[in-house]
Structure 1
């Protein structure tokens, strides 16, 4: 290549091939770039033929490979040491998470004031706000796994998951949007957010009129398996977008205006405006489709209705807690048995009350009927239903999967269910109008359907 000869003889010296000092320097440069870096001009002149030069370079290549192997092994050892988890930090974090739940409950029980239980969710939610202000970070740079920054995210993520039961009561309301803003998110008060599955709430940016369906996953954490590092990416959703249920947003998302994401899709990166994403495919949307985004903002009366519904539901839980506390204080049995008895009683009463509320307060829906997002019908028939079901979700855990009571309850709520139907979980079917369900003979549904 340096001497511009396609097939040079390997025994002939370079000088006999018509080479000059410039050709030698060019050959030396190419050898350093492509074959061996630690070669000098003396080695080239002392081995003037191709065969001699190859025999002289070969030992140098073996030495370089051994040195590279040693350096690589040292780097792997250092990376392995850096990527080891810290049992001490994790143990302290777990103890703090347990204390966050147990200590307030113990204080309330010792004070013999059951009404203090209503301070419990406020304490838990505000504790996360304080911790997120102290530990959250927006530095979008790679960092080693199990580093201090990683454990900051790790603790906040576990703390958020502990509070998801309380957050289920305020999703779809301005209260939830305000809470996300307290946690550092840039969320519009007119956005409709029905998901609590997120690992870094402070990195969310959601504009006016966007709809985020339930069980949407906001995955800001990205783990790089090649070098054991992680990054936190922001997620931005512009105005008037619709994100379908069980959609996964990951590895940095920037969605522009008027985008429709169909249920169970996965989205990452940039999404142009007026796009429909169905699974992994995307296409431009039509003008007729975008016209359905008008008037998504709730009026002040709608918001007052949501607050009143929350207050009434709190009153229902208050009566339940008073009854359970009376039983707890009257029954003279060992503490573990007393706790199990109170839990069983609360679960039975909770299931009974939730079914009554769904039957006589929420009622049924007409097949094919359209509900505007900002309407009384939607708030009454869908939002209130999901609020009741999520509030009493843990009460239904008393029953086993495929319990024979599930079809009976759904039939009483208006569902058409034939014989030999087995239902894994009833929570999903209660969350949507049960009178629209039609199960024929022998149907079996598994969990998370």
Structure 2
């Protein structure tokens, strides 16, 4: 429940919106538009669409998408609001609108917390009667359903996926006559062979700072092949002996096959290490592809993305994909019109344009086969991985409200393991303890 000061802030914001009126350019919506009315557009149905973390390029895409949709559906008017900046700025604005009863009809940010708060409309009935449902990635749908762990309802229509990758300097592997790692055994075997410390060339750069727990977790479940994070009786699997084994090997490579300053590196720092010619391998998602292209002047003989190596069982396991998608507000007054826009957004051409702009794999399988995906090696590799029937996915507990908090709690402990001040088993036992607490709290909720 919001405290008095937040309610006053919400009312103040709505008063400012009412005075300002409606303007796409400024990103301000009138109360009538936000609620879903006619808004001076004759008898047209008005729906609202809010987008997070908007850049000028993304703004142009969203505005063109709205324009094309309105041309195809002249009886529907879409009020678009793009919120620039990081996701916290968007969530703050969204929380104020929800508290004031002015939630947008459609959002492009999907969170478990909003399911628990009853913000979203379940989409199962709409989806099951949609003739385009078979074109949507099953892996992306599965990820979104996992956010509702209790009932498995679909609360967001997925628009894309981001794969995790092992980014490698393929030219280094060629020079050293070392095979590109297709198995974890080959990965660890390659480390000493890629080292050239005299020239400040390291085999690997490890993310020891922000985001380190997220990365380590993904790698451990890939290595073990364990799909579930919890057993039937609620015990966490993160401290499984196979995970201890991996953490000992991987974090044990710190300062042996990695630079010493890896202890505090986040995404931007490991990317810079890779691009400056100081590391032969780093772990990150497709989001770093564009910066790699720029850093290496488009010379793909110097960098490539590989799927995570196969485990001892010969399985290719990928972390459970981050749930992404368009959501429908439970309070929307024009849900049929909202669904029309959502499915238009997932049409082949629009979804392909979205994926190309964001550097993500379109959720529409036809769009993921487009030329731009197939001609870029790392995009094709990612699309093939997601569509392969042989790829297994971990069931990450994104539904737990405290899931990200637990990962953040583990980051300083990972640094301790890297610095040999804590054992991998001690780290993972504490990790399991905190996850089990979150799972128990979630399971006790009605």
TM-score bucket (shorter structure): under 0.3
Q: Which has the larger radius of gyration?
A: 1
Q: Given the two structures, how large is their TM-score scaled by the length of structure 2?
A: 0.24
> Normalising to structure 1: TM-score of the pair?
0.24
1 or 2 for the larger relative contact order (CA 8 Å, sep ≥6)? Answer: 2
